Amino acid sequence: MSQDEIDYESLPSSAPLSHQLAAGAFAGIMEHSIMFPLDAVKTRMQAISNVKGSASILKNSSNSLIKTISTIATQEGSLALWKGVQSMVMGAGPAHAVYFATYEAMKENITNYVESSNDPSDPNNNNSTLQLALITGSAGICATIAADALMNPFDTIKQRMQLHRADHPGHELEHPKINKPNGGGMWYFAKKIYKNEGILAFFYSYPTTLAMNVPFAAMNFSIYELSTQYFNPQGQYNPWIHSLCGAISGAICSAVTTPLDCIKTVLQVRGSHVVTVKELQEADSFFKAARAIKNNYGWLGFTRGLKPRIISNMPAAAISWTAYECAKYFFKNHE
């Protein structure tokens, strides 16, 4: 397997780290900010407890995403679907910068190690497709572990902000900073979480996040790289192909990991005023959260949010990969 086969559209070895970080940050911000309203709907669907009216919300969410979005915007205001976006942007930029920079570095190192260890006379070493999947998957896992450690606190704050509704019983967050545009609501939520639940509240979901995102990342990178090899064997810059391959990867990965995403949401929102079921409030570990979902919602509870998750992750992954490849192409041509 040649370096050209594995080094598809990678930044050149002479490219500074700042280029990798900038490309990754650009991809992360574009991915999460554009698809944020659908992420908000998914969070609402996964976090529903025994709050009055939750059954109708779940039914509407399952039948019509557009109707659900319209209902939220009408009842809570046009900006309701964007609550928490500032936390996501602040976390997504640095986290994705680390994500893609780690991916590029690990892919290069693992590739060099594999090539130096290969015996050219061994016919088992000629399966470049399998090696590509293993190398990119391994690099993606390393990137995920590093990025999620940085992103998890911001994601927890984002989830709490997405659930905030002044008409929920026990909302208690009638605070001027929450209700004023650009009023620093993110930091207020962060302080409330820290004060009421401690620093560990920001990381309760980290093991579950890794359990979800590690296979997601391994599949995401492998499916993307393999599909680009299939649709673009010449390795030319083509935004349409990057977008198509990203969408394919995002759809498959999001569907497979939805049950783990449901567990992650329970862990992240357990201290929210919206959650009124005691078993869900006390779910502070992976197994407690999984048991709480099973006891309260049945096995179908692990599929809540599947539709908006797939619908949001398809274009989100397409946007992320296209933006990343675009940034790399820009840096390559301006060196």
Per residue in 149-188, pLDDT tens?
Answer: 898 999 888 888 887 764 444 344 434 444 444 444 788 8
Q: Please indicate whether residue 253 or residue 122 has the higher confidence score (pLDDT).
A: 253
> Does residue 7 lie within any of the structural domains?
no
> Does residue 109 lie within any of the structural domains?
yes
Q: Which phi-psi region, left, alpha or beta, contains residue 77 (left: φ > 0; alpha: ψ -120 to 50)?
A: left
> Does residue 48 lie within any of the structural domains?
yes
Task: Let me know if 200 is exposed, middle or buried by CB neighbors in 10 A (0-12, 13-18, 19+).
Answer: exposed
Residue 304 belongs to domain spanning = 16-332
> Does residue 11 lie within any of the structural domains?
no
Q: Quote the pLDDT of residue 8.
A: 32
> Does residue 6 lie within any of the structural domains?
no
Number of domains in the chain: 1
Per residue in 76-109, pLDDT tens?
Answer: 777 778 888 888 888 878 887 888 788 888 888 8
> Does residue 328 lie within any of the structural domains?
yes
> Does residue 1 lie within any of the structural domains?
no
pTM: 0.64
Per residue in 122-146, pLDDT tens?
Answer: 555 555 667 777 887 788 888 888 8
Q: Quote the pLDDT of residue 169.
A: 40
* DSSP class per residue in 174-224: --HHHHSTTS-HHHHHHHHHHHHH-GGGGTTTHHHHHHHHHHHHHHHHHHH
**Which CATH number covers residue 94?**
1.50.40.10
> Does residue 252 lie within any of the structural domains?
yes
